[in-house]
């Protein structure tokens, strides 16, 4: 049942505190030791995943991690491009276009932090667009009008080069957008904030679930996952939500596309591996790598 936010109760305060703790655990400390070995069973090339994307054209599944970008469509996972600590990652307006941010990897001559990078070849090479040495965008989203990013300040850009500061009094854990829409969702421990003007202005949802991870399958359809793994679906671009199934593992990132049957298909990078739902988020199973 949606959680009412009007008139805070003791239970809602406890829930918000618990959500905040879980959101913090999904944050951004670099791994203390070397990257774990990839196994066919887990298909996880890194214990720290900050983004997942699925191609609607090729069904390729990519993970953005502390150790770089990996294709997990096949097992073992395949490294793409140079090693970058990808803290922020989002697909662009066409297949194979990505935007990213974070930190350079060992031996890289790129500035730290990376600012906004763009790849037009599926992550093999990266172009420096803006804010190199200034911004580590931990959250990024593509919209019809440009890009929304959070580097401690919520910013919007129409071209990836120049930026405007958005009016917002919150720190998003995740930003979710769609390249064919100007609606953006921002997840926070207190609930979702929503923008319909490409991130320029925001309004909190008056009630709804406390969603930690969100993604658009279509300009009008979104999916979200609570800190406890409960999956929700929205048919109105994040205004209202309906509970569906549950992911019984620690979720690190989600992605969604419109399925062949018209329902959203949902992928989740978890601590146990990548799982997928082809029934709108009701049930999940491990992905089958080729």
Domains of the chain: total = 1
Q: Quick check: is 143 in a domain? A: yes
In this structure, the chain runs to a length of: 290
**Structure confidence at residue 22 (pLDDT):** 52
User: In this predicted model, what pLDDT tens digit does every residue of 80-127 receive, in sequence order?
Assistant: 999 999 999 999 999 999 999 999 999 899 999 999 999 999 999 999
**Structure confidence at residue 245 (pLDDT):** 98
> Which CATH number is 48's domain given?
2.130.10.10
Q: Quick check: is 169 in a domain? A: yes
pTM, two decimals, is 0.87
Q: Quick check: is 33 in a domain? A: no
Q: Quick check: is 31 in a domain? A: no
The DSSP secondary structure of 169-228, one letter per residue, reads SS--SEEE--TT---EEEE-TT--EEESSTTSS-EE-SB----SEEEEEETTEEEEE-TT
Q: Quick check: is 3 in a domain? A: no
Give the strands of the sheet with 203-204, arranged side by side. Answer: 174-176, 184-187, 193-195, 203-204
**Structure confidence at residue 167 (pLDDT):** 87
Q: Quick check: is 85 in a domain? A: yes
User: In this predicted model, what pLDDT tens digit does every residue of 136-167 receive, in sequence order?
Assistant: 999 999 999 999 999 999 999 999 999 999 98
**Structure confidence at residue 40 (pLDDT):** 35
Domain of 259 in residue numbering reads as 10-25+40-286
């Amino acid at each position: 049942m949606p959680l009412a936010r009007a008139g805070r109760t003791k239970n809602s305060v406890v829930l918000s505190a618990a959500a905040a703790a879980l959101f913090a655990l999904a944050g951004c400390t670099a791994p203390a030791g070397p990257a774990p070995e990839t196994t066919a069973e887990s298909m996880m090339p890194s214990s720290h995943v900050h983004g997942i994307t699925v191609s609607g054209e090729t069904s390729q599944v990519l993970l953005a991690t502390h150790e770089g970008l990996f294709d997990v469509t096949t097992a073992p996972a395949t490294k793409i491009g140079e090693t970058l600590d990808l803290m922020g990652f989002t697909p662009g307006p066409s297949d194979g276009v990505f935007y990213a941010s974070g930190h350079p990897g060992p031996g890289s001559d790129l500035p730290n932090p990376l600012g906004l990078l763009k790849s037009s070849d599926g992550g093999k090479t990266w172009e420096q667009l803006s804010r190199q040495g200034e911004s580590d965008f931990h959250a990024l989203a593509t919209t019809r009008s440009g890009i929304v990013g959070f580097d401690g300040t919520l910013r919007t850009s129409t071209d990836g080069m120049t930026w405007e500061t958005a009016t917002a009094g919150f720190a998003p854990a995740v930003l979710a957008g769609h390249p064919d829409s100007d609606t953006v969702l921002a997840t926070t421990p207190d609930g979702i904030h929503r923008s319909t003007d490409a991130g320029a202005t925001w309004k909190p949802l008056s009630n709804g679930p406390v969603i930690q991870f969100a993604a658009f399958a279509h300009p009008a359809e979104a999916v979200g996952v609570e800190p406890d793994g409960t999956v929700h679906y929205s048919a109105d671009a994040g205004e209202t939500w309906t509970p569906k199934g549950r992911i019984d593992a620690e979720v690190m990132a989600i992605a969604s596309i419109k399925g062949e049957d018209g329902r959203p298909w949902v992928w989740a990078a978890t601590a146990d591996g990548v799982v997928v739902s082809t029934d709108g988020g009701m049930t999940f199973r491990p992905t089958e790598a080729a």
